[in-house]
């Protein structure tokens, strides 16, 4: 009888243990799947932004003025292009999330001040 109770407890707890393990795996995967904004910026955006043809990371005043437009506007401008900046920094293969990560990286000096 005791053996059956032990098996029953194991059978009852196994789905919960598997669900917890799956949750951990999923959380790790989602964290690892975040695009690297710095690498994307360096590979696709820095050529213009660091040469002065776009806002530079160190130009806090200019970044702050642009950031005041709202992050959704910044994302839309990066996705669709604006002024002399091509859509998606000229790389149509970038996903929306990759573009957003590059924008977040560019404006990190501003957002870090508000933290």
Q: What is the tens place of the pLDDT at every residue in 15-36? A: 766 677 677 777 666 665 789 9
Domain boundaries, the chain: 1-33, 36-114
Q: What is the pLDDT of residue 41?
A: 97
Position 1 pLDDT exceeds 60? no
Position 10 pLDDT exceeds 60? no
Q: How far apart are CA 8 and CA 104, in angstroms?
A: 51
36-114 domain in CATH 1.10.760.10? yes
Average pLDDT over residues 90-111: 96
Asked if 92 contacts 101 with a C-beta cutoff of 8 angstroms, the reply is no
Position 69 pLDDT exceeds 90? yes
Higher pLDDT, 58 or 101: 101
């Amino acid at each position: 009888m005791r053996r059956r109770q032990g098996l029953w407890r194991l059978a009852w707890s196994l789905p919960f243990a598997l669900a917890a393990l799956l949750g951990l795996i999923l959380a790790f995967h989602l964290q690892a799947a975040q695009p690297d904004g710095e690498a994307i910026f360096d590979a696709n955006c820095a050529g213009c932004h660091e040469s002065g043809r776009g806002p530079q990371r160190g130009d806090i005043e200019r970044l702050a003025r642009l950031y005041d437009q709202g992050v959704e506007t910044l994302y839309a401008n990066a996705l669709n292009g604006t002024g002399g900046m091509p859509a998606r920094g000229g790389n149509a293969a970038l996903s929306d999330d990759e573009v957003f990560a590059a924008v977040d990286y560019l404006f990190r000096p501003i957002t870090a001040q508000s933290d």
